[in-house]
Structure 1
């Protein structure tokens, strides 16, 4: 389908002298609009309309027909000219009506890894008694998506944004527009849907295996890699001794009294741990390459079989997370990797 450019944009590109005026008009029309009560209603004061290139050509044709009819006094020419002018006026009203009182009820999306498209769903709602046809929702760096809504209906419009860099992704200003029914006019409005997502580092495609896991010595209390005592673990809980338990975990008195080897569980027993450390990576790797490898290791540690998966600690300059494992720990590590060297909150909302 061939898309036509709005008349004002076409003129501003054809005549460089109008570019400044075009930018000033766009800045005025794009003044911020924040949601009220969780929704943005596109009221009449904020719905703008201009003829498209096709509409401008149609208007010139009507002017030529009118001049010809006046010059030659052709009654049928007058009839056809005014009939087509009425069609154009009706199309302008229909185009504007197709957008007025439409509601934008927010947007949802999920965090992604760098190098992948960011998919966002925008919720539109039609609270009126007439249908909306050919409504386009778009934003910067995203192709517009077209949708139609029945009376008292709602829909989700999917927008796909190009691959974003690591850090915060803030949903740009949305542009809701329509050219229905004849494409002679384009009506549009703007909406600011508050949505902020995290873009994690891109995982290294061929990352080496995870660093070897180790069973830390309980006496290494100052080592950030060693798990701290768990408050729910009983220090004097006994269990049969297993090969590989550290000697200091053996309950010597109980073992001698019961004539069997026993070991203490709880604080004295440590799970195998894996340390994913920034400083342990090869010096030639730059910051983004290190983040990419650590991201791949975090995902690999979570995907390991349950019986073989060690707890892991992520160690960044000035920050250590863990040891632990599970979805919450994974998300905390990915968040730290995504925001390394970035502001802790989006700059627009800081």
Structure 2
């Protein structure tokens, strides 16, 4: 009796390796290639301009093909003429669309600081050349940025600015992503586009705490019990209420706030000083909540008093004014880094 041979084990189908040629077609290198701007300027030359027909352009080509087949089938001379005329117009539109962006230069102009949750504004400076006017030039950010494109038109040898708004979610430096410059001029049959990678970054401050408590102001009275406190119409020297003081001299708001009667002397003293101390905040607050409250206090202080800021590892002496306020906000935005650390290359 012949010996039966065991059946060979079935072969498991191994996943086919993807074709390298298909991968190269699916992700062409120009999608990932970045151009380093020369002296902060990106020039849209012939090697970096791309053009494809739009949906309207594809429909226009299909219409021309139908007109050509109909003219061939019925031998219509006028149909041939109309088809070729429209085809010439389409070719002229393709060249004009390509020429609309050719040799245009793009550079970063400025990046305005913003609070977390508010959009950050990036300004781009766009310049044409002697090639002619530029009509309907659009600048947009990646789709995940969820921003609307900005558009402008330039006269010959003119320069203009485009402002792009990028949403912010957290404090710190926010770099401008790759910008797409495109145009559908003149008839929308073709879309020409290019990319610009600009070294531009905006500083995002912490989000001010909504409904933050009043400033932790502590008056330092002198020997007479007077203290410098901000008032509605300037800075007055305040002292304890004395019997016989006229009613119009009583500081009603400060009396209600402190719970004791104080009167104005009418003599302007030095600006009061208020320290915003990290350690004085409630221990139940998280780090971001502390920064949010300190940011709200810095904004609320204004120029009516001198404020100082104390953070772990950072201390800014008391001062006032726009530059001092920006220094405090910058320290809050970059903490736990050191205040005043250099900005990324190209930031404004």
Q: TM-score, normalised by structure 1?
A: 0.72
User: What's 1:324 paired with?
Assistant: 319
CA deviation string 1:288-340 (max 9, x = no partner): 21111000111223342xxxx2x333222232222333333322211111112
Write the distance in 1 (CA, Å) between the matches of 2:167 and 2:40. Answer: 27
Give yes or no for the alignment of 1:204 onto 2:209: yes
Q: Secondary structure at the match of 2:161?
A: strand
The structure-2 alpha-carbon separation of the partners of 1:327 and 1:338, relative to structure 1 and needing over 3 Å to count, comes to same
User: What's 1:160 paired with?
Assistant: 165
Q: Secondary structure at the match of 2:213?
A: coil
Equivalent residue runs for 1:1-350 within 5 Å: 24-25=27-28, 28-140=30-142, 141=145, 142-213=147-218, 215=220, 243=224, 273-304=273-304, 309=305, 311-341=306-336
| 5+ residue gaps, structure 2 | 1-21, 227-269
Q: Secondary structure at the match of 1:279?
A: coil
TM-aligned CA deviation for residue 129 of structure 1: 4.1
TM-aligned CA deviation for residue 103 of structure 1: 1.1
Q: CA RMSD in A?
A: 2.9
Write the distance in 1 (CA, Å) between the matches of 2:25 and 2:334. Answer: 38
TM-aligned CA deviation for residue 153 of structure 1: 0.7
Write the distance in 1 (CA, Å) between the matches of 2:86 and 2:172. Answer: 54
TM-aligned CA deviation for residue 123 of structure 1: 0.9
The structure-2 alpha-carbon separation of the partners of 1:127 and 1:340, relative to structure 1 and needing over 3 Å to count, comes to same
TM-aligned CA deviation for residue 284 of structure 1: 2.2
The structure-2 alpha-carbon separation of the partners of 1:21 and 1:78, relative to structure 1 and needing over 3 Å to count, comes to farther
TM-aligned CA deviation for residue 275 of structure 1: 2.3
**Total equivalences in the alignment:** 279
TM-aligned CA deviation for residue 81 of structure 1: 1.5
TM-aligned CA deviation for residue 197 of structure 1: 1.2
TM-aligned CA deviation for residue 171 of structure 1: 1.2
Contact preservation (8 Å) 1:178, 1:187? yes
Of 138-147 and 87-96, the range deviating more from structure 2: 138-147
CA deviation string 1:63-112 (max 9, x = no partner): 22222222222222221211111111111000000010111132312111
Write the distance in 2 (CA, Å) between the matches of 1:128 and 1:242. Answer: 75
Write the distance in 2 (CA, Å) between the matches of 1:215 and 1:105. Answer: 52
Contact preservation (8 Å) 2:303, 2:320? no
TM-aligned CA deviation for residue 244 of structure 1: 6.2
Contact preservation (8 Å) 2:303, 2:321? no
CA deviation string 1:159-183 (max 9, x = no partner): 2222442111111111111000011
| 5+ residue gaps, structure 1 | 1-18, 217-240, 246-269
TM-aligned CA deviation for residue 202 of structure 1: 1.1
Write the distance in 1 (CA, Å) between the matches of 2:123 and 2:135. Answer: 19
TM-aligned CA deviation for residue 35 of structure 1: 2.0
CA deviation string 1:172-222 (max 9, x = no partner): 111111000011100001112221110001112211111133559xxxxxx
Write the distance in 1 (CA, Å) between the matches of 2:51 and 2:337. Answer: 40
